[in-house]
C-alpha cells in the first residue's frame, strides 16, 4: 500500500513538474523568440485585417539579421507618428518627395508595416507604389492608393545606412515613412512570420 501511495505521489510530482517546466519554456520562448501581435488598424489591408493576430519572430533580429525588402515587421515609430511629423515634403523646385529626414524621439506605440527600402536605397512613390533605385517594385499585395495626397512623391530620397523605409500595404490609409521618414533598424522588434487568428486566415505572412 505504501509503495502504491509513493508511486502516486511521484506521478503527481512529475506531472506538476512537467507543467511548470512547459510553462517556463513557453514564457522564455515568448520573451525571447516569438511574440503575438494584434493588428490595430486597416493600414496593412488586404494582407492583414483589423483584429487579425500574427506571430512575430524576434530571435533572428536579436541575432543580428537585418530586415529585408518585402518583410512585414513590428517596430517603434518616431514620436507622434500619428500626426505625420515630417516638416519637409518638397524638393528645391517644389516637387513632392517622401519624408527624407529621420524624425526624433520614439513613440510608445508599436506599428506593423512592410519594408520597401533599406539603407543605401533611393525611394520615390508613384501611384502609391514604391520606386526603389529607379525601378518600380513588384507589389501585388498593395491596395490601390486612391489618388490621395500620399500617392505621389516623385522626387526620390536616399535611405540612410542603418535605416529602413516602411509603408503599409493599404497605401491610401497608412501613416508610414512617407510622413515621418526612415526608421533605425535598431527599433525593429521582429518580423511577422505567420497569422494564427482568425482560423480562416491561418498561414504565413
Q: Which residues are catalytic?
A: 43
Q: Which among 92, 94, 82 has a CA at the least distance from the CA of 175?
A: 82
Task: Tell me the β-bridge partners of 122.
Answer: 158
Closest by alpha carbon to 166, among 57, 91, 40, 75? 75
Q: Hey, which residues does 191 pair with through a beta bridge?
A: 57, 73
Q: In this structure, what are the phi and psi dihedrals at residue 23, rounded to the nearest 5 degrees?
A: -65, -40
Give CA–CA dist 24/18, Å, rounded.
10
Amino acid at each position: 500500500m505504501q509503495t502504491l501511495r509513493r508511486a502516486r505521489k511521484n506521478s503527481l510530482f512529475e506531472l506538476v513538474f512537467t507543467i511548470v517546466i512547459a510553462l517556463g519554456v513557453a514564457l522564455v520562448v515568448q520573451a525571447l523568440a516569438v511574440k503575438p501581435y494584434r493588428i490595430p488598424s486597416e493600414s496593412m489591408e488586404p494582407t492583414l485585417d483589423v483584429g487579425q493576430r500574427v506571430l512575430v519572430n524576434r530571435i533572428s533580429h536579436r541575432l543580428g539579421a537585418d530586415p529585408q525588402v518585402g518583410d512585414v515587421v513590428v517596430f517603434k515609430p518616431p514620436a507622434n507618428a500619428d500626426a505625420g511629423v515630417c516638416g519637409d515634403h518638397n524638393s528645391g523646385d517644389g516637387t513632392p518627395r517622401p519624408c527624407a529626414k529621420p524624425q526624433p524621439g520614439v513613440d510608445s506605440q508599436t506599428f506593423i508595416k512592410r519594408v520597401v527600402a533599406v539603407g543605401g536605397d533611393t525611394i520615390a512613390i508613384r501611384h502609391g507604389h514604391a520606386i526603389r533605385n529607379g525601378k518600380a517594385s513588384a507589389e501585388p499585395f498593395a491596395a490601390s492608393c486612391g489618388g490621395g495626397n500620399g500617392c505621389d512623391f516623385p522626387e526620390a530620397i536616399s535611405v540612410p545606412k542603418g535605416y529602413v523605409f516602411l509603408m503599409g500595404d493599404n497605401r491610401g490609409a497608412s501613416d508610414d515613412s512617407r510622413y515621418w521618414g526612415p526608421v533605425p533598424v535598431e527599433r525593429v522588434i521582429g518580423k511577422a512570420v505567420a497569422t494564427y487568428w482568425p482560423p480562416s486566415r491561418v498561414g504565413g505572412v
